[in-house]
Amino acid sequence: MIVTGAGGQLGRALLEEFPGARGLTRAEWDVELPPPPGLEADLVLHAAAWTDVDGAEDDPQGAAAVNVGGVQHAAELGAPLVVWSSDYVFDGRKHAPYVESDAPCPLGAYGRTKLHGEAAAGEQAWVIRSSWLYGWTSKNFVRTMLRLGADREEVAVVDDQRGSPTYVGHLAEATRQVLELPYGLYHVAAAGDCTWADFAEAIFEEAGLPTRVRRITTAEFAARAPRPAYSVLRSEKGAPELPHWREGVTECVARLRA
């Protein structure tokens, strides 16, 4: 078993959940390139990905090289494949939870590359869409809020985008259950939903920080890439149900403090 992207937050969580797997960092296999000679696997957990949503708008070809080309290269190993995709394949206009049969309509370059990556996985694959991932390593919203909250009395956070923040530890555990299901597309995200501002307040509360959250609009934040206003994911296909997003925040902050 191989885990690509082993240096990232999801890759690290997968290696804890699948301790017998061989983890490959970007230095060991840059998935923009074909697999290294002689590399073999009976299962590929393909966690390597371009995750910079705004950066994808500036360099769509670079994002596609990782999120589409990388999946194609992982599939070249000829082993069953697990690929993680994103809630950003949707445009957010539904205003009700998205299920697997809903038609994707990405708003930006990042979402387009993730959608094309799903197709590149082939038929011998599990595609797991999740949302707003965070963990105890790498760059993510929880770690950013804790860093800002340690230095500031107030942080401005978007309050008109709604999703389900998903802890990579819970997602890695659920991946083991997905492997018991037929190949296909599955939505696996935390229970409950919130805005980024709600998420930030929960992080500060868990960390015991007095930092205030100033709720702003997407327009005020002025990010380069468009994002769906509503991207809650739920499964109609019997995918594993994850704990509530607040439980994930509690576990993640506790681990960071330890």
Catalytic residue ranges: 110
Other beta carbons within 10 angstroms of residue 219's beta carbon come to 9
Q: Determine how β-strand 184-187 pairs with β-strand 166-167.
A: unpaired
Structure tokens at 185: 């597309």
Tokens 């910079």 locate to: 52
- Return the structure tokens found at 250: 């509690």
- For 15, 79, 178, 208, the CA distances from 44, given in Å and listed in that order, are 12, 6, 14, 39
Name, in order, each residue with C-beta under 8 angstroms of 144's C-beta and a sequence gap of 6 or more: none
| CB count in 10 Å sphere of residue 209 | 17
Strands 194-195 and 162-163: antiparallel
